[in-house]
Amino acid sequence: MSSVRSSATPDTSPPATAPRGAALAEAARRVIPGGVNSATRDVGEPFAFTSAEGAYVVDADGRRYLDYHAAFGAILLGHNSPVVNDAVRAALRGHDLVGLGVSELEVRLAERVVELIPSAESMIATMSGSEAVAQAVRLSRAATGRAKIVKFQGGFHGWSDAVARNVISPAERAYGSDPLSHGILPAALDETLIAEFNDLDSVRALFDAHPGDVAAVILEPIPHNVGALVPTREFVEGLRALTLERGAVLIFDEVITGFRHSLGGYQQVVGVTPDLTTFGKGMANGYPVGGLAGRRDLMDHFDGRGGDVLLAGTFNGHPVGCAAAIATIDHLRANPDFYSRTFAHGDRIRAGLTEITAELGIVTQVTGFGGVFSMYFCAGPIHGYRDLLRNDNAAYVAFHRGMTERGVLMLPMSLKRNHVSGAHTDDDIDRTLETADVVLRELVAAGTVRGEG
């Protein structure tokens, strides 16, 4: 029997109905398209949340959840971190938004980024990771005079036209034409080429097929938007060498990995320095801010006194986002045990899930890095998106749904990852594994997943 199995029960029982949350969802649908302001928020119950603190969130009907969704990873230290909120309040006592010149907070944030991120010689601030990526793509094209971008099947880089394609694609559209939205000009989609993660030959083939026309290669160094595909060092080093050889820009999209896995991002972990880096999400513990940093000769294209790439945005460098980011980064610098604790918690969860599924005879691949974890319901090995086409999506969703119904919030969508924050405790990890044991046994009994236990 699994050593993590327990008779412990969740904090609360699922409510028979969710009247307030359902009412809020219905009211939202009357005034907001689809009832949500980002498509992947529409997952059914729980419909709405009213408070959050530490590792926990509370829905509109009073149900308390241990949170591993973490706002798609934007929550790094824990919800409503006092150190971050205090910094925001202090910033608002100074000034709000002036929109001319530069503020001390903008300078301080850029100084920290330049000091910590290996690729950063200069930085611009944006309001989101999507905006940072859009700027990175435009900059790469301007700097190289080339048109085409290489991205990887399964990688998500936001909503801008150049990259809004081929993320969680069905088998019949993977590697082919799979735009995320109508309304994108076909010409924009055609300038983006699709490669396979951890397959350097697939990237080289695209360079060979389009000689002298690839402006940049963009990748999540760990594609967390399809769970956690961990790169081989040879692949990342090979991308660096190939882009240098072919005169293309290498962009690391560290919107998720940045600051979460290391103060210097995953590039610091793997020891490979890209030309440009985008970041956002956890860098401000949930406050809206993002940025792009990189080589000075590239970033100087944004210089309004002689550069040739437009940098504009009324809310760029907003004092609230800058203050929150500085406070988050300074807290991480002063508390390096954040990484040892979240990595240890991630290791415990991955080991525990592996033990439970092995005992039950469920074929899974439990993977992740640091405090991020995913459990694919398929045989291994898992190297790239092609391997993920074997995943049992229904089982993946059923597991996340079962955990959420028992008070452990995991986004009930296939291939979505889970995040450990700095607020999770050893007891929280115990509860997570105890709940997973119960959920997986019920799924086996119901025939939702196949097992031998």
Instruction: Report domain extents, the chain.
Output: 19-74+336-446, 82-334
Quick count: other Cβ atoms within 10 Å of Cβ 305?
5
The H or E element containing residue 375 is: strand 372-376
Q: How far apart are CA 291 and CA 127, in angstroms?
A: 8
Q: Rounded to the nearest 5 degrees, what angle is found at the Cα of 223, between the Cα atoms of 391 and 324? A: 130
Question: In CATH, which superfamily holds the domain spanning 19-74+336-446?
Answer: Aspartate Aminotransferase, domain 1 (3.90.1150.10)
The whole-number pLDDT of residue 347 equals 98
**Per-residue confidence (pLDDT) for residue 11, from 0 to 100:** 47
Output the pLDDT for position 95. 87
Note the residue count of the chain: 453
pLDDT at 253: 98
Contact between 374 and 348 under an 8 Å Cβ cutoff? The reply is no
Please state which CATH number belongs to domain 82-334: 3.40.640.10
Centre a 10 Å sphere on the Cβ of residue 451 and count the other Cβ atoms it contains: 18
DSSP string, 73-96: HT-SS-BT-HHHHHHHHHHHHH--
CB 261 within 8 A of CB 228: no
Residuewise pLDDT in 10s, the chain (453 residues): 344 444 344 444 445 567 999 999 999 999 999 999 999 999 999 999 999 999 999 999 999 999 999 999 999 999 999 999 999 999 999 989 998 999 999 999 999 999 999 999 999 999 999 999 999 999 999 999 999 999 999 999 999 999 999 999 999 999 999 999 999 999 999 999 999 999 999 999 999 999 999 999 999 999 999 999 999 999 999 999 999 999 999 999 999 999 999 999 999 999 999 999 999 999 999 999 999 999 999 999 999 999 999 999 999 999 999 999 999 999 999 999 999 999 999 999 999 999 999 999 999 999 999 999 999 999 999 999 999 999 999 999 999 999 999 999 999 999 999 999 999 999 999 999 999 999 999 999 999 998 764
- DSSP one-letter code for 152: E
